[in-house]
Every structure is written in structure tokens, then in C-alpha cells.
Amino acid sequence: MCDFLENGFMCRGDGFTQEVGEPYNINDIVDPCPKCNTKLFLEEAKITSEVLAKDCSGKTGDKAWLASIQKAKQFLTEAELTALLQSIGVVNALSMVDGKAVVKPFNYLKPTSTLYTRP
């Protein structure tokens, strides 16, 4: 059983989190658990950072994306995180520059040179 618990949210055991003390509702697909559902957690973080230039706390999409990676890092080895980010590929996160939304891309694809070079 996953023991994720943070900021009043806990893993409910099926890969999603819920507020502590709330009744369990299987139809309630809420936020993926960063600990036991890390891939989906990052995939959703990618989508959010690409559509939301600034969240309610004033955090820009690119900052939110980086914060999600930091969170995922606690539950993965460096190699697992690298593999996951490579499977995600490119994240076109939104940021704010002078009050305007701009795209700030993060590219996790392997550089072409390493794909074709053999030691």
C-alpha cells in the first residue's frame, strides 16, 4: 500500500490522491499519486504546464513543471526519472514574460549524436 501523504492529500491506494478524511469514491479521478503513479503524474503535469501560463498561486507553467519533476525525483532513481522524461519527450511549458504568455520548451529527447554513436 502506498503511503504518500502531503499537504493534506494522501494516496488512496489506486494511484490517485484524495483529501485526508474524504470518503473514497472510485469515480472520483483526481490527481495521480506522485509516488506510485509517477508516470501519469508527470504526464498530467506536462499538460497542465502547457495550458496554464500561471496558476492560482501565481506559479508559471514552467515553474510548475520543474516543481513536479522535483516531487517525482523523491520517488524515482535518477535512471528511472531520465527514462520517464525521455518517454515524455518535449514539454512546451508556458511562462510569463512582461505579462505575456510565452512558450518555454523543455527537451528531454536524447541528443541525436548519442543515438547513432557507438563506443
Of 15 and 54, which has the nearer Cβ to Zn ion?
A: 15
Could you tell me if 97 and 105 are in contact, meaning their C-beta atoms sit under 8 angstroms apart? no
Of 14 and 50, which has the nearer Cβ to Zn ion?
A: 14
Q: Is 36 in the site for Zn ion (CB under 5 A)?
A: yes
Residue 44: closest CA among 28, 18, 64, 73: 64
Of 33 and 76, which has the nearer Cβ to Zn ion?
A: 33
Could you tell me if 12 and 36 are in contact, meaning their C-beta atoms sit under 8 angstroms apart? no
Task: Name the minimum Å distance from CB 1 to Zn ion.
Answer: 8
> In sequence order, what are the beta bridge partners of 66?
none
71 to 110, contacts with Zn ion by CB under 5 A?
Answer: none
- What b-and-e string marks burial along 24-51, b requiring 16 or more CB atoms within 10 Å of the CB? eeeeeeeebbbbbbbbebbeebbebbbe
6 to 25, contacts with Zn ion by CB under 5 A?
Answer: 11
> Which stretch in 3-11, 49-57, 64-72, 93-101 sits in contact with Zn ion by CB under 5 A?
3-11
Q: Is 42 in the site for Zn ion (CB under 5 A)?
A: no
Binding site for Zn ion (CB under 5 A): 2, 4, 11, 33, 35-36
